[in-house]
Structure formats: structure tokens, C-alpha cells
Amino acid sequence: MARREKHTSLRSRMIIALLVLTTLLLLLSGTLVHLLTEVWWFETVGFSSIFWTILIGKSLIWLGTFVLFALFLWWNLRLAIGTTPTDVEQLLLRHRSLRYRSFSFLEGRDLNTYVQSFSKYIGLVVIIFISLIAAGASVGNWETILKYLHASDFGNADPVYQQDIGFYIFQLPFYESLRNCFFALLVCALMISVPVYILKGSIYPGRSWKNLVSGQTKTHLSILLAAIVLLIAISFWLERYDLLYSQEGVVFGAGYTDVHARLLSLWIMSLGALALAALFIVSVWQNSTALPIYGIGLYLVALVIFRGVYPWFQQQFIVEPNELAKEKPYIANNIELTKQAYGLDTVQRLQYPAKTQLNQQVLQENQGTIDNIRLWDYRPLLSTYRQLQEIRLYYKFTGVDIDRYTLNGNYQQVMLSPRELSYEQVPQRARTWVNQRLKYTHGYGLGSDPVNWAHYQAIAMR
């Protein structure tokens, strides 16, 4: 009898496992089909290594972020739960005095154990949820991370910080993404820890604001807040490089006010944030929380002055009265870097003496130029293409371009227009999966004419 019950139990577990596996396969079937199709496609065009590099990179980023958030948040939750609680009975009395009647169901229980268990299980669910969201969001940074890991120098430096241009393409976006990740991590840790401390009574609004928290609770929260403020200091330090993308001046990029006012204000705010972080650490050994609170107030005042008032004053009373002289070096930087970006800094200038006399000999010497004098106007030519070569309703000429080719050994300027496919004009009965994805994928043919030909037979379809 026992053997039969054991066999039935094993069979039930196998059925449940099979149902779970089938459900997972059904839920993931669309993703698996898409993944398999992508693998085949990349292998067909010879870029399978790129596909696997991106896929493995995304997977490692997702896994690393999930583990980081889950472990750090769980450690903070355990730390908050494990600190010495205040008297929960006294906490309930305080709440009742404030007419909170929802705690009556806790009477007669081990309240500390109940609060710890409740915080642990609810916190675990919240941690998993937050970790999944963070991991999914971090996957979007796969290109930033891979570019950082395979960074290279451009060989040109910016005129303000003398950093290689590659730093702004490869390193800076990675540092900013890393900062955002850790900032979100610390804020989430704070959001998980504070409710636990409130539930345990370690943070009670009825106390004086100078003694709102104390003991191990104060140490934990002070360290988290110090780390957040430290990241704010790093943010201001990184923002210095973003001044090169400033649009506040007369030209795109760093201007006079950016270099002489905003840059200084960013240094001051970064150093001020470091000092504020130090105040949070020092407050761990103080009996009062007033020190960091005063520091926050002072820092906000400095933020308004140095990030708002000072740059405005510099722009209004120093730059604008003599704007051309102040901005001239930065306009020159903008022009020089624009030339470098478009490869115009290596252009060689050659002088060609002009000939003022036109005769038969000059025409013969420049026959190549004469043969490429454009006679056609693109508008009537486009109409001609449409009338003569839109053989089917689903063919369409959208525009005429000019290009140059070597034809029969001669360099020839031509006007050309590709014959595209208009999907809207394909008959409904022909819009099958095969036709839309394998057959009617692009246009067919190219109309082209030398620019100096004028004959009804000149149109050539290739």
C-alpha cells in the first residue's frame, strides 16, 4: 500500500513537472523561434560571430546586474532586519495613541519575530522584482559596455581637457552608465531598508528631527546616504566633460561661460558633495542627525548660487557686452573640430590659372568636360522614366540622381533612377508570405542616361 502511494506521488510529481515544462516552452516558443531565425540569418551572411558576441554580452550583463542587485539588496534587508529592534509593544501603544487601530491583530503574538518574518518575505519578493527590472534595463547598455571593452584612440585631443576624442566615444558613456547603475542600486537599498526600520520602530516620526534615528539604524542609513552623495560628486565631475556638448553659447560646444563659470561651479559642487558625504560618515559618531541636515541645506544654497546665479551673471555682464572677443577662441575651436570631423583639415588647395580666351584648341583640350555638360532637367526626365519604364503597377521611380562612371574607357556623368517596388500597388492576392519576404523584396532595374544625350532611345534600363 505504501509502495503504491509512493508510486502515485512520484507519478503526480512527474505530471506536474511535465506541465510546467510544457508551459515554459509555450511561453518561450516565440522567443526561441526568433532566436533560431536570427542565428540562421547571421550564419548565412557570414557574421555569426557578431551575433554570438552580442547575445553572450547581453546575457552576461543581465545575469551580472541581477546578481548584483539581488545580493546587495538582500544584504541590506538582512542588515535592517538584524539590527536591535525597539520595544514593539511601546511602538503599538504610540500608534494607538495616534488612533492607528490596524495593529490589534498582533496582540498576543511574538511581535519582534512577526515583524522580522513579515519584513523578510515581503522584502524578498520586492528584491526579486527590482532585480528583474534592473537586469532588463541594463541589457540596453550592451553596446556601451562592448565599446568600452574594445576602445581605441582617435589620435586627436579636445581643446579644453586635452582628452583623446575616443574617451568621449568609448569611456565616458560607460562611466555614466556605471554611475546610473550604482545610483539606482543605492536608492533601491534605501527604499527597502527605511520601511523595515519604520515597521520595527527604529524610525519614529514622533521623535525630534535631530534624533530621528540612532544606533545601528543611523549607521546603516548614514553609510547609504554617504554613498549616494559620493555618486553625486562623481556625477558633477563627469558632467565637466558634457560641457563640450553645451548648446548655451553662440556655437555648439564649450563657450566662454562654460569654461570660466560652469566648469568652476561643477568643481565646487563636486568637492561640496564630497564634504557632505564626509558629514554623513562623521554623524555616525555623533548623537544628533543635525550635522548632515545642516549640510544638505547649505549644499542646496550653494547649488542655486553656483549652478544658476553665477553662470547667469558671467553670461549677462561679462560675455554679452563683448561677446565676439570672448567667444572668438571657442568659435575657432568649433570650426577646427568640424573640419576634423568631416576630414576637411587635410584638403590641399591648388591654384588653376584661368584662361580668358576660348577657341577651337581649348575646346579640343577639354573635350571630357564638354561631353559632360548637363542638358537634362531631372523633372521631365523623371516623368519620361515613369511613362516608358513603369511597366507594372507596382514599379515606381521616386527620384533622379547624378553620378559618374567610366563607360567604354571614358569618364561619363550620368543621370539615373532606380526602379523601386511599391508594396501598396501589389495585388492583394499576391501578398503572400513568400512574395512579401522572398520575392517582392526590392525594385528591379535602373534607368540611366548620359547627361548630354537627348534622344528618345537614350533611356537604358539595366
Please provide residue 454's backbone torsions phi and psi, each rounded to the nearest 5 degrees.
-140, 85
Question: Does residue 335 sit within a domain?
Answer: yes
Name residue 412's amino acid: Q
CA distances (Å), origin 219, targets 169, 216, 348, 457: 40, 5, 67, 89
Do residue 374 and residue 393 come from a single domain?
A: yes
For 307, 326, 340, 377, the CA distances from 259, given in Å and listed in that order, are 13, 11, 22, 51
> In the listed set 206, 231, 253, which residue is the last one of a domain according to the structure?
206
| Same structural domain, 202 and 294 | no
Distance (Å, rounded) from C-alpha 462 to C-alpha 452?
Answer: 19
**398 falls within a domain:** yes
Please indicate, yes or no, whether residues 393 and 316 belong to a single structural domain of this protein: no
186 and 301 in a single domain? The answer is no
Q: Which residues constitute the domain of residue 370?
A: 366-461
Which grid coordinates are listed for 49?
560571430
pTM score above 0.85: no
d(CA 419, CA 388): 12
SS3 48: helix
354, part of any domain = no
- pLDDT value of residue 94: 52
Q: Same domain, yes or no, for 260 and 279?
A: yes
Total domains, the chain: 3
Long-range contacts of 247-252 (CB under 8 A, 24+ apart): 248/315, 249/327, 249/330, 250/323, 250/327, 250/331, 251/327, 251/330, 251/331, 251/334, 252/334
Please identify, among 162, 177, 206, the residue that sits at the C-terminal boundary of a domain: 206
Tens digits of pLDDT across the chain (462 residues): 555 555 566 777 777 778 777 777 776 677 777 788 888 888 888 888 888 999 999 999 999 999 999 999 999 988 888 765 555 555 555 554 444 444 454 554 555 566 667 677 888 889 999 999 999 999 999 999 999 999 999 888 888 899 999 999 999 999 999 999 999 999 999 999 888 887 777 776 656 555 666 678 888 888 999 999 999 999 999 999 999 998 887 888 888 898 999 999 999 999 999 999 999 999 888 776 788 889 999 999 999 999 999 999 998 988 888 888 888 999 998 899 888 888 888 888 888 887 778 888 888 888 888 888 888 888 988 888 888 888 777 788 888 999 998 888 888 899 999 888 887 777 888 788 888 777 777 777 888 888 887 665 545 555
Report residue 374 as a C-alpha cell: 548637363
